[in-house]
Structure 1
Amino acid sequence: MATQLMHEGDQFSVPSLPALIDKRLNWQGWLSGLLSLAFVCTIIWKIRDFGFAQSLKTLPTSLTFWLAFAGYYLALPSSEWLIFRRLWKIPFAGFVALLRKMVSNEVLLGYSGEVYFYTWARARAQLTTAPFGAIKDVSILSALAGNLITLLMMVLAWPLVGTVAPQFHAKAVLLSAAAMLGVSMLVLLFRSRVFSLPNVQLRGIFAIHIARLVVTTILSGVMWHAALPDVSLAWLILLATLQLLVTRLPFVPNKELVFASLAIFLIGNDGTVATLIAVIASCILATHLLLGAILTCGELVKVAKG
């Protein structure tokens, strides 16, 4: 029996299980390599159609914008690294893997990043516990936290819809809210069958997700305000709510571009707000492509060597 990853007194201890790696097969390495190869092909295809020159002309110059952008971009992998650090004591290399996980989900296909991170976790000799249950629980709790924050933002934004953006369709918003509530209630109803981790760990993970969503919502507002200080608070609330709604879509890559397209459709192409949303979406996609290319090349080199 493998040794435990953490002492019994720690809050996020996980019971140990037999080692999961069969070095004779090393299927984890092959799967990681195939995912990396597919990722490289996707990056090359997207770079081919990306208008870097046009986007550079409209980039904001505010330092506040770029500091908020960096915090917004790194919030998800940072929060997940904190979670898995407490679960498994993963090293800093785990942050790089989680960064790659996020980029895979956004560039390649939704939840492909979870597959990559699962193979990464199983390939680490020090992670002798079964990673699937923890990764599943973290992803489900992230979705539940996102639903909760989105519903709260929808309540906050609802009085503003009629005056600021009458083109928003109330029926579609109500259907979205009902769907999120329904899914969340089902998960909570069958939580004993859905979740693998103890309740104390689930509460800690949920709290980290909530904190991350609050921070990213605030940072997105800071970005918009820094680039366009004349935009009203009402618009910032509506845009933050719409962005949270889009992030709830499963199996959809490039959520920022979907958000930009939907926002421009609702606002119109002539406004400065629509231009800013398109620029931010382009910045995020460009960062995904750059980091994805760097991280994936490193992965392929490791697979080739070993």
Structure 2
Amino acid sequence: MSSPPQHHAGAAAATWTAETFDPPLLAEGGSLAARWLGPVISLGIFAAVLWQLRTMHIAQVVDMVPRSPLFWLVFAGYYLVTPAADFLIFRRLWNLPAAGFGALTRKFVGNEILMGYIGELHFYSWARNRLRMVAAPFAAVKDVAILSAAAGNLVTLAVLAAAYPFLGALHLGLAPGTIVMAVTVTLGTSLVLLAFRGRLLTLDPTDLMFVGGVQLLRVVVTSLLPALLWHLVLPQVALGWWLLLASLRLLLSRLPLLPNKDLVFAGIAVVLVGPDVAIGGLMTMMASLILATHILVGAGLVLAEFALGED
């Protein structure tokens, strides 16, 4: 059996064992699931890439995107901030090598084009097969995912508190009961995490604070950078309006029980910015550009993974 992980928090790390923290189905040597999980998910990502290609109009996207180098620099930062934040976290927890950045980028793409948390399973498989010094990677992957969701909820609640006085003036078309129920679910999940953190989380408090801080910063950055991208495309609209829209976009994207979020957001954008601004074209261009990037990055990483014979 692998030795305990070389983690700097000695007392907590010494208790980490695969039997304690890894699901029995996936524990190394317990079944073939751990061996085949990564390749199966990689094939799923590649299949999703091929499926998404049928909806892409690449020439149309190329015609719409700005040619400004600043736009592309900001876009690259926006796209990479999530895997970069994960790399900082797992570099601290596991002394993750540079090759781990590719695995974390695959995790990000898998979550985006397949389903939420499928990327965590893929990264778990990669860590299980590649990082032999990590006896039980599931514990850390689980804690990071939980704190990511908690950070998103925290920022969402803060945005809601700030925007609540203005919600009536925006004419969102939402019944007050819908908003109250959505906030209740969001707040409830955070309270459950707080109440059962001793049982749900296994990292030591110092690491939990570091992971939580990085995740909080990631949520804020990924919420604000779209505003700068929108402003670079439509500079005639003041950046302040885009910042407000970015905050409301975060709020709508994370509130559960809310149907037609994209339509609601488009309506808000028209109300705030004005019907004469090409809001629809802007949002379509950004969505298509992000999807095209997912397709290119996902296909490239999966092909490289199989070409190099990685697990």
Q: Structure 2-normalised TM-score?
A: 0.83
Identify the range of structure 1 (37-46 vs 136-145) with the bigger mean alpha-carbon deviation. Answer: 37-46
Equivalent residues of 1:260, 1:278 under 8 A apart: no
Match of 2:243 among 236, 245, 258: 236
Structure 2 match to 1:35: 41
Amino acid at match of 1:175: M
Cα distance change on mapping 1:70 and 1:270 into 2, 3 Å = same
Cα distance change on mapping 1:151 and 1:62 into 2, 3 Å = farther
Structure 1 match to 2:266: 264
Cα distance change on mapping 1:236 and 1:199 into 2, 3 Å = same
Listed one character per residue, the Cα deviations across residues 138-188 of structure 1 (whole Å, up to 9, x for unaligned) are 00101111011111112223334344x323526233332221111100110
Structure 2 match to 1:2: 3
Identify the range of structure 1 (96-105 vs 172-181) with the bigger mean alpha-carbon deviation. Answer: 172-181
Amino acid at match of 1:281: A
The CA distance in 1 between the partners of 2:3 and 2:35, in whole Å, is 22
Cα distance change on mapping 1:93 and 1:13 into 2, 3 Å = farther
Structure 1 match to 2:192: 186
Written as runs of structure 1 = structure 2, the 5 A alignment for 1:1-306 is 2=3, 4-7=5-8, 14-15=13-14, 17=17, 21-22=28-29, 27-163=33-169, 165-169=170-174, 171=176, 172-232=178-238, 233-247=240-254, 260=262, 262-264=264-266, 267=269, 271-303=277-309
Root mean square deviation, CA, Å: 2.8
The CA distance in 1 between the partners of 2:220 and 2:81, in whole Å, is 10
The CA distance in 1 between the partners of 2:18 and 2:254, in whole Å, is 37
Structure 2 match to 1:253: none
Give the deviation of 1:248 after TM superposition. Answer: 6.2
Give the deviation of 1:209 after TM superposition. Answer: 0.8
Amino acid at match of 2:209: R
Cα distance change on mapping 1:166 and 1:245 into 2, 3 Å = closer
The CA distance in 1 between the partners of 2:28 and 2:303, in whole Å, is 24
Equivalent residues of 1:17, 1:130 under 8 A apart: yes
Equivalent residues of 1:143, 1:248 under 8 A apart: no
Give the deviation of 1:37 after TM superposition. Answer: 1.5
Equivalent residues of 1:137, 1:196 under 8 A apart: yes
Cα distance change on mapping 1:97 and 1:181 into 2, 3 Å = same
Give the deviation of 1:7 after TM superposition. Answer: 4.2
Cα distance change on mapping 1:261 and 1:120 into 2, 3 Å = farther
Cα distance change on mapping 1:68 and 1:13 into 2, 3 Å = farther
Cα distance change on mapping 1:6 and 1:229 into 2, 3 Å = same
Listed one character per residue, the Cα deviations across residues 13-50 of structure 1 (whole Å, up to 9, x for unaligned) are 7335469643x966434221111122211111110121
Identity of aligned residues (%): 37
Equivalent residues of 1:39, 1:104 under 8 A apart: yes
Cα distance change on mapping 1:248 and 1:116 into 2, 3 Å = farther
Listed one character per residue, the Cα deviations across residues 62-82 of structure 1 (whole Å, up to 9, x for unaligned) are 333222211111111101110
Q: Secondary structure at 1:123's aligned position in 2?
A: helix
Q: Secondary structure at 2:130's aligned position in 1?
A: coil
Q: Secondary structure at 1:92's aligned position in 2?
A: coil
Amino acid at match of 2:172: Q
State how many pairs are aligned. Answer: 294
The CA distance in 1 between the partners of 2:94 and 2:121, in whole Å, is 18
The CA distance in 2 between the partners of 1:295 and 1:283, in whole Å, is 18
Q: Secondary structure at 2:13's aligned position in 1?
A: coil
Q: Structure 1-normalised TM-score?
A: 0.85
Cα distance change on mapping 1:106 and 1:275 into 2, 3 Å = same
Amino acid at match of 2:243: L
